Chains A and B, each alone.
Chain A
Amino acid sequence: LAQIVDALPAPAIVAFLSPRRKVHVNAAFSRLQGGDGHAGSPPIVRFGERGRLLPPGDDPIGRALAGLEVATAQAQLQLRSGEFRTVVVSGTPCRNDDGTVGAAIVVMHDLQHDIDAAGVLRDLTAHTPALLFTADPAGRIDSINARWNEFIGEAADELLGTGWTRFIHPDDVAHVVDDWSKNVQRGEPYKGQWRFLRSDGTYRWTEIRAEAWRDGDGAIRRWFGSGTDVDAQRRALESLDFLAETGATVAGAQEDVALLLDRLAHAALEGLADISIFDLKEEDGSVRRQIVGSPRSRQSAIDIAKAFEAPRSGERHPIARALHDGETLHVPYVDEAFIQAHIAPPTRQAAWRFIDIRSIVCAPMLTSGRSIGALTLVRAGTSVPFDTSDMRVIQEVARRAAVAIENVRFKERERREARNLRGFADMGAALGGSLGLRDTLDAAMRAIVPERASWAYVNLFDERGDLRVASVYHDDAEKNRILASHVGAYYARGDSTLGSPAVARSRTPFLFDPIDYDAARSFVSHEILETFLTMNLGSAIVVPLLGATAVRGTLNLCMDAGRSFAAADVDFFQELAQRMAPAIANAELFERERLVARSFQDAALPAALPRVPGFAFHAIYEAGKAEALVGGDWYDAFSLADGRIVVSIGDVAGSGLSAAVTMSGVRQAIRGAAHVDPDPRVMLEAANQAVREDAGQRFVTAFVGVIDRHPLPVIRYQSAGHPAPILWTADGTLTQLSGHGPPLGLRAERTQENRECAIPPGSLLALFTDGLIESTRNVLDGEAKVCAALLDPSVNGAEDPAKRLHDAVLVDGSRDDVAILTIRTTGGTTP
């Protein structure tokens, strides 16, 4: 027996029953076990399982000695170093003449250097339809197993020698032969995928693995090989690569994830399974299930599968473990016992039986270490069970699908964020350019419509506490016109416990889907409801609008029937409303201030201009379009008791209430001084004092003049940095009443004497503020325009020359405040 063992090229031992378990080992075994094994020390052969030694009676030697034939089985051999090494063992009892076992020969094959080879071998010995072959040291096939006949057909014998090359796909044959022969020369373990011509005339991807069996001297005696049909797996992975590429560029959205999974199931998994089930965790924690059946599976089975929701966390079900615990479950053989033990609800058990599930793999869809779903593949009826390599492919498909889905979701999130930011930016820009409440609301709605809502409107509480339509915006011009006719109209009772009033009170956004028109009738204006009914309104989100201190009203976003709001839009609208709040508060403040400032200005401008024989006074004041608030421009003209006329015009830089207050003070100072001492210099000094007493530093310009009517009209004047009035006389000449004094408020010597200018009968003297000459921001150009206008008979001869002058110069209106005062002298000067 020892001689037989010594002759074997593979590691082998012979063990004797008596003396108790004495062993003889061959050279190959000594090399495998390692260490020089002190020449004299008796060899010890022990096997283990999961890192622990087996009792001698249970190990392959013990079992062979007990008379059992040990077929190729995996075992762990203890090396001299104490470590274990995975080997495939076969044990043969050797019987004495009387039939009793006296010894056993155990042959081992070392698999540790290629754990995958072990997997293949295990599959070979299990249920995988494995194709086995052997080849001589030169790589010529010299034996094949019966499986090849099923695969290649009757011609299987033609594989022998080098005949196999005729069954390789023509595109592959050159490099396959080259690859194989080079490997035979190197003597290394071989692994390659070849396309073999199958009996049905199709080429199937077949994974070929082979290993050299060597003799004691290390020379190759034989090649031992196997082939596995990996066509479905290979196609799955190829499709997956394709999907991964397209998946990365898919244009996002929920539908795209569904599309991705659908394509994945059809392209990649159809060959692998009868039914593919994707259970995908949504961002809100729910699980979305998508089931795709292969064309060969029964429709009724697919329908049944679709009738079930994904199992919940903690539920007794294999999918629950993959989905929620991230475990992979591979059940090659599903039988009644398995169903009883692993499926809890009786209805599900019944479904498993109906679908006739035979084999199942549940793989978690893992990305960044977290399970975002599970991929479950089912083989039903007479299908071949899933083997471990199928399981690995399915795990890989699940992993890559998870990555692709994450990419799609990430892109979707990114796009949503970008869209939100753009929305806020659009609105921010719009709000920045608007100060009135109406402008603010319009800007907000234009940021929403039509991208996120079909149309929108705003309701604000009126002084009685009811809601009124403040603003509306529809992208469709005709519909916008119809809706706009309701602006300002009563919308709903403020005390209603339903709809917009309820949203305003609770300060919480609400989605109305569908709209309950019957309920709405009880509190919404009937006219408005009638209009809404023509608008194809499907659903609405109502968001409260907060002002500085209280709820001001609601922002109502409307969606046409057939379109629906995105789930994330409610958050966007709420954020939008929050961002609108300061703008609304500003608008409220602005409206209040504008009202007060306006009152001041109205009070500041003279109620009536002097009515003096021989003179005609005209004036115009226009608030700027671009300037947010009323400005500090003024004009004034009044008669003194002695018949002299005082005129003044001026401009307080800035706008708003405080400018109006300063302006009012300056004007009053001029008036007061004029009644005491109608000397332009004195009047300006009084104005200067008023400016200096004003808390804020201001830039104030003013022109003051006193007109003597006798014997001929003459004006004595002073200017404090104010644009010079221009006198047009009937002979067609223009004269500037230049003053050149510095603006008010500056501490400077005012040494200038009053200047004088005659105003001949039939002349026109125009006083104005800088708004008239600076509207184009080109003061030279502005002055030229004023001069040209004054020379124009349609202006200097106009009934209201102030208005005409304004219109002639400011064709497009003014962005700044403008005040103009004109004085015309008529023929008869003496009453």
Chain B
Amino acid sequence: MSEGASYICVALAGEIDLYERERLDAVLDVTERPAVVILDLARTSYLDSSALGAFVSLRERLIDSAGSEVIFAGAGKQVARLFEICGFDQVFARFDSVDAALQHLRVDQGDVERRRLESNPPS
């Protein structure tokens, strides 16, 4: 585990699209540095390009401070394919689950700040 880094796990559930953009920006508002943000996508069914853009933007904000990182965890088939298509695999680490990510990072569950965003069902 990186010395002094903040660990934030953001669980995203449902379809994360343009309509969730404000709430997504809010849960991805990370001011701590360095910060390791684990995006828990186990319950994410869809991400549109605005959500992907938000991940890109988060990474660009964090990347200047050493030890910061954006990690994806638990992506299902759909989301995994999306990442493959848009080339995220080239720049983001991906783990099967949050536990696997934490194990890799050697971080205790208790040291992780949990956040979540539950998308509203499409109207």
Q: Give A residues with C-beta under 8 Å from B.
A: 651, 653-654, 697-699, 701, 719-724, 739-743, 745-748, 770, 774, 777-780, 783
Contact = CB atoms under 8 A, between A and B. Distances in A.
Contact of B82 (A698, A720, A722, A779): A779
B81 A653 contact: no
Nearest to B122: A777
B85 A724 contact: yes
Top 7 nearest A-B pairs (CB, nearest first) are A699-B53, A721-B86, A653-B49, A697-B57, A721-B87, A742-B87, A777-B46
A719 B46 contact: no
B100 to A, nearest CB: 23
Given A746-B56, A777-B45, 16 more contacts: A697-B60, A699-B49, A721-B88, A722-B85, A724-B85, A740-B89, A740-B90, A743-B52, A743-B88, A748-B91, A770-B85, A774-B48, A777-B46, A778-B78, A779-B78, A779-B85
A653 B53 CA distance: 7
B50 A653 contact: yes
10 contacts: A699-B50, A720-B87, A722-B86, A742-B90, A745-B56, A746-B56, A746-B60, A778-B78, A779-B81, A779-B82
Interface string B68-95: 0000000001100110111111110000
B33 interface: no
Contacts of A721: 85-88
B63 interface: yes
Contacts of A739: 87
State which size class the interface on B falls in: 20 to 34
Contacts of A701: 49, 86
Nearest to B15: A777
- The A contact surface, by secondary structure, is loop
A791 B22 CA distance: 41
Contacts of B43: none
Most buried by A among B87, B89, B91: B87
B81 A780 contact: yes
A720 B46 CA distance: 20
A741 B88 CA distance: 8
Most buried by B among A699, A774, A778: A699
A719 B53 contact: no
B84 to A, nearest CB: 7
A774 B48 CA distance: 8
B104 to A, nearest CB: 21
Contacts of B46: 777-778
Contacts of B63: 747
B23 interface: no
Contact of B53 (A698, A742, A747, A770): A698
B53 to A, nearest CB: 3
A269 B78 CA distance: 78
B56 A699 contact: yes
Nearest to B123: A433
Interface of B: 15, 45-46, 48-50, 52-53, 56-57, 59-60, 63, 77-78, 81-82, 84-91
A651 B48 CA distance: 12
Nearest to B90: A742
Contacts of A748: 90-91
B87 A719 contact: yes
- The B contact surface, by secondary structure, is helix
Contact of B49 (A697, A770, A778, A783): A770
A746 B91 contact: yes
Contacts of B84: 740
A206 B4 CA distance: 94
A382 to B, nearest CB: 74
Contact of A654 (B50, B56, B78, B86): B50
Most buried by A among B85, B88, B90: B85
Contacts of B56: 697, 699, 743, 745-746
Nearest to A628: B18
A777 B86 CA distance: 15
Contact of B90 (A653, A723, A741): A741
A741 B89 CA distance: 9
Contacts of B15: 777
Contacts of B52: 653, 699, 743
A743 B45 contact: no
A697 B85 contact: no
A476 B100 CA distance: 63
B7 to A, nearest CB: 23
B64 to A, nearest CB: 9
A743 B92 CA distance: 12
Contacts of B60: 697, 745-747
Contacts of A745: 56, 60
B87 A740 contact: yes
A719 B81 CA distance: 15
A698 B50 CA distance: 8
A93 B52 CA distance: 114
A780 B90 CA distance: 20
A697 B53 contact: yes
Nearest to B54: A699
A777 B81 CA distance: 12
Contacts of A719: 87
A653 B82 CA distance: 15
B77 A780 contact: yes
A746 B63 CA distance: 10
Contacts of A779: 78, 81-82, 85
A343 to B, nearest CB: 67
A654 B81 contact: no
Nearest to B63: A747
B73 to A, nearest CB: 19
A742 B57 contact: no
B119 to A, nearest CB: 12
A698 B45 CA distance: 22
A747 B70 CA distance: 14
A779 B85 CA distance: 10
Nearest to B48: A774
A742 B55 CA distance: 12
Contacts of B90: 740-742, 748
A748 to B, nearest CB: 5
B78 A743 contact: no
A780 B78 contact: yes
A741 B53 contact: no
A697 B82 CA distance: 20
A651 B87 CA distance: 14
Nearest to A777: B46
A742 B85 contact: no
A741 B87 CA distance: 5
A76 B63 CA distance: 100
Given A743-B86, A747-B60, A780-B77, A654 B53 contact: yes
A33 to B, nearest CB: 84
A747 B90 CA distance: 11
A563 B56 CA distance: 60
Most buried by A among B15, B49, B86: B49
A697 B88 CA distance: 16
A624 to B, nearest CB: 11
Nearest to A783: B81
Contact of B91 (A651, A698, A724, A742): A742
